Structure 1
Amino acid sequence: MARKKNVTFNDIAQYTHFSKTTISRYFNNPDSLTPENQQIISDALDKLNYKENKVAKILANGQTEFVGVLIPSLSMNYYSEMLNQILASYKKYGYKFLVFAGNGHDETERRYIQELMSYKIEGLIVLSHTLSSRELSDLQIPVVTIEREDQFVCSVNTDNYLGAHEATSLLIHNHCDVLIHLNSPTKENVPAYRRRAGFQDACVKAGVPHEVIIRDFGLSYQEAAAPLQEIFDNIEQKYAGQKKGIFLSNDDHANILLNLLIRKYHTLPDDYELIGFDGAPISEQAIYPISTVGQQIDQIADEAVSLLVSQMQERKKRHPVPLAEPVHKTVPPLLIRRQTTT
């Protein structure tokens, strides 16, 4: 059986009576053609059953349609769900993703970025906190960060202060005697720092006894389990007989603390209320679904990819106009009430 001949630019040109240069412009710079001519060529591609040769296109114009993604860890539910949503944007935007999970080491993550650049990525999404936005801005490609320091690059973040304030206000409304916030060491220029501020401001305004516990919990269950066990034991002793409202900085830690309570009491005691942060799948899947501050992860991912795509598309124009300054978008959180709050 004879092998079916691939449709070439010459075939399309003959079918449409356009030049091969015009056909090339359709693929590489469609905005240079009128909408009517774009439609004529698009219809011809369908009639001829044209199959695009991606490798040939990359070699011709150097545009890979690859986007790099650098995340801190896949073991935490928030990051894995954010990655799921970013990858799902392919259907809407048509870009493919090359992903590296960082390890918190500067040189290692620089090597990851060098590897990504060697694949001619057109843009980069960064959730890792390791490298400064100043360094990322020097990459000469569009960069969008999510929930990290972002002074010199575009970003999409949650309103962390509002989310924390709402979570704390719910615990106050539920008549907790003492409020406790568990968090990791966080610099003031990182959006998540505002969770601590929102918690403290709500407590001070209401005149409620409160404590902030800062501890390095790492980026995995194995790293977080021991310090959370120690903190739980201390809370049990220090606040015995009081109703405790605990606001944790993420849903993974809220789930670990919930498991510690269930192991000891075989249920969630009436003198504990828990609220996490993120709206990650683990909060809904826990043995007692956990109240949480939902980050609207799907919307954040879409906003980040959209912001990146707009910059990448601008660079492809004949006379691109770069951003005068970084764009910072904020997505409002949603307080999700479940079984760990009354």
Structure 2
Amino acid sequence: MRFAKLLLFSSVLFCVSGFAVESKIQVMGWVPAYGLNESMAALESQALIGEGLTRLGLQLWNPSPDGRGLVLAPVNKQGQSVRPEDVVRFRDWAKMHGIKVFLTVYNNSQVMGKWDWALARRAFAQHPAEFSHALLAEMNKYELDGIDLDLEGEGELDSDRPAYAQLIRDLSAKLKAQGKLLTVDSFHSPCMNAPNMSWWGDWLGYVDAIHSMGYEDLYEGSEQAFTPEEKSVCEDGAHIFKYSWQLRYAMRAGYKPGQILMGMPTWLDSWGKGGLGKDIISHVREAQALGVGIALWDLQLAAAPWRSAATWQAIRVLRDIPGAEGKLPRQP
């Protein structure tokens, strides 16, 4: 009964940065093109998973080679593609559980074997109108709830920041007109790679959520500084991989805690040190205390505890009983 009352409360809508979003904390998870059957088996292994997830990212599309469209991604190194029926299978499972489904486009694959920034740039910088049109058409073809951008590049790529921001602004306007959502996956430092935290301010008012994809780098007990290759230490040596540091940075840019999701590694059953502990539930509780969401890569849930009832009970508490929103610990 308590969960039922909390769930009713969490369905109330409010407006954050121009988006109508659900007040409940979000739990995003991704299905990778190379792990379709494994992901479905994991999703069906524990009933509480369907009750805990709020969003499902189908990472099943690449930009087309010319940057003007989309193609279904390969599932293996031989180039066999995801089938349309695979998209439908996961969409229908998610809809049955009341989970919103996103088209996740990414610039990597089993065939590419790398994050191909040139491919991404061909789409968002050279052919943004055609690329946006293709994203919207594919989203509507499969009756999905939004678009998730996972276009990643390694190195010093700030020269592409304006074009990337323009794609987000244009895509956001089109999605808002349809009542759809836009999320972005980001590197977890403000000092290197693309897109990174220093770009977040460009997107305020245009994105529904940002996923900080630090995985095992991110945890509240982190005391690690980050020094990019051939550059000075990032943020004067601050402990940038603490959940609270990530949130503080986002809030300075104008975001609400519920718009930030901390990436967590589902191939590990423990990571980090200090904080509340190294185990999964401890990290979930660290996120809960800050009022942020979590983003799970990926839904194959390779580490057994990610399929346990205890883990998903903790995730449900994170969703329904968030900590004091934005109440951050004192900086050292």
Q: Which entry has the higher C-alpha Rg, 1 or 2?
A: 1
The TM-score with structure 2 as length reference comes to 0.27
The TM-score with structure 1 as length reference comes to 0.27
